[in-house]
Amino acid sequence: MRDFSYLRANSLDAAREAAALPGAMLLAGGTTLIDLAKCGVAEPETLVDITHLKGLDSIEMSERGATIGALARMGHVADHAGIRSRFPAVSEALWQAASAQIRNMATIGGNLMQRTRCPYFRDPANFPACNKRQPGSGCSAIGGVTRGHAVLGTSDACIAMYPGDLAVALVAFDAILHLGERQIPVDDFFLLPGTTPDREHAIAPGEMITAIEIPGSASARRSTYLKIRDRQSYEFAAASAAVGIEFEPDHRTIRDLRVALGGVATKPWRARAVEDALKGKVLEPDAVSAASLLAVEGAVDQGANHYKIELAPRVVARAILKLGETA
């Protein structure tokens, strides 16, 4: 790991000012950044440690929903009684992510800045070509070993998968990111790779995530996060779904439905086609299975990751039907 200078921020303004300088990066839990610095992917000249800032780690519940400070840690949010009862999919996405140790370190703001696990991206010594690291250098993954790569939202420049869980639940429930004064829907914060896979987030130098606001809703209250993976725990998703459902008073007709996918796309993937196909319909297995196929409309596989196109709709359908059982 290349050495860097270390600066401990005493205030939010000081942190943003320092992080705006060339070569500077914000350091929160460090679970992505220190790892990538060891891989030679991140080469910061200065790390601005924001973990000693006060007052940015609160979890506030109101009638409108939840507001989570950027420095709240994953494990605390997962275990928070209000989050568990009003946003079960958010709690489940968090406790099924990473390990207890990493969840104690990683912050909510840092989680949203998590980078891809693409093994070619993570290994610059052996794979110099990576459009995400070095724009225009090419993509080592295309034509390589692609079992874990994306099938949705890909481009000729990049097929790297977005690996996170929390953001999948956040896009399903229309969460808003606070970047200081500026606010932006989480779905707009994550960018498609297109021709500029090096640009992953709609955030500018000197900006910092300060809070996440999740609007409360009936569908958020009846929600779940279903994560299927190669091993039972401490693993990234092969395919996952955040699903929320609100029924009409008859407990069978779907009034509102939220569906987002993880483990299959280059960003947290809202599946509005599935939602639209089922809203107003009576929940029954055949209709759910048929509609769930719309989750992977337009998917392009590389061969080794074809299974994701089969798996993802089944994960979506199972999650929806599971929520139906509790109606």
**Footprint of another protein on 111-170 (CB under 8 A):** none
Compute CA distances 185 → 124, 180, 322, whole Å: 32, 14, 28
Element (H, E) at 168: helix 166-172
Q: Of 10, 99, 183, 253, which lies in the binding site for another protein, with binding defined by CB under 8 A?
A: 99
**Cβ-contact 72, 58 below 8 angstroms:** yes
At closest approach, how far in Å is the CB of 29 from another protein? 8
Query: Is 101 a binder of another protein (CB under 8 A)?
Result: yes
Burial 241-258 (b: 16+ CB within 10 A, else e): bbbbbbbeeeeeebebbb
**Cβ-contact 169, 91 below 8 angstroms:** no
Size of the site for another protein (CB under 8 A): 32
Answer left, alpha or beta for residue 23, where phi above 0 means left and psi between -120 and 50 means alpha: left
Compute CA distances 2 → 28, 46, 301, whole Å: 18, 11, 36
**CB nearer to another protein: pick between 66 and 105:** 105
**CB nearer to another protein: pick between 117 and 314:** 117
Query: Is 105 a binder of another protein (CB under 8 A)?
Result: yes
At closest approach, how far in Å is the CB of 132 from another protein? 19
Q: Of 14, 20, 61, 102, which lies in the binding site for another protein, with binding defined by CB under 8 A?
A: 102
At closest approach, how far in Å is the CB of 102 from another protein? 6
**CB nearer to another protein: pick between 21 and 100:** 100
The CA angle 216-172-241, to the nearest 5 degrees, is 125
Query: Is 1 a binder of another protein (CB under 8 A)?
Result: yes
At closest approach, how far in Å is the CB of 200 from another protein? 20
The CA angle 71-72-73, to the nearest 5 degrees, is 105
**Footprint of another protein on 26-55 (CB under 8 A):** 27, 29-31, 34-35, 37-39, 47, 49, 51-52
Query: Is 6 a binder of another protein (CB under 8 A)?
Result: yes
**Cβ-contact 165, 94 below 8 angstroms:** yes
**Footprint of another protein on 225-264 (CB under 8 A):** 232-234
**CB nearer to another protein: pick between 4 and 192:** 4
Smallest CA-to-CA distance from 239 within 308, 163, 160 is with 308
Position of tokens 């439905």?
Answer: 257
The DSSP secondary structure of 243-291, one letter per residue, reads EEEEE-TTSSBEEEEEEEEESSBSS-EE-HHHHHHHTTSB--HHHHHHH
**Footprint of another protein on 59-88 (CB under 8 A):** 75, 79
Query: Is 307 a binder of another protein (CB under 8 A)?
Result: no
Stretch that binds another protein, among 92-100, 167-175, 181-189, 304-312 (CB under 8 A): 92-100
Residues of this chain that interact with another protein (CB under 8 A) are 1-6, 8, 27, 29-31, 34-35, 37-39, 47, 49, 51-52, 75, 79, 98-102, 104-105, 232-234
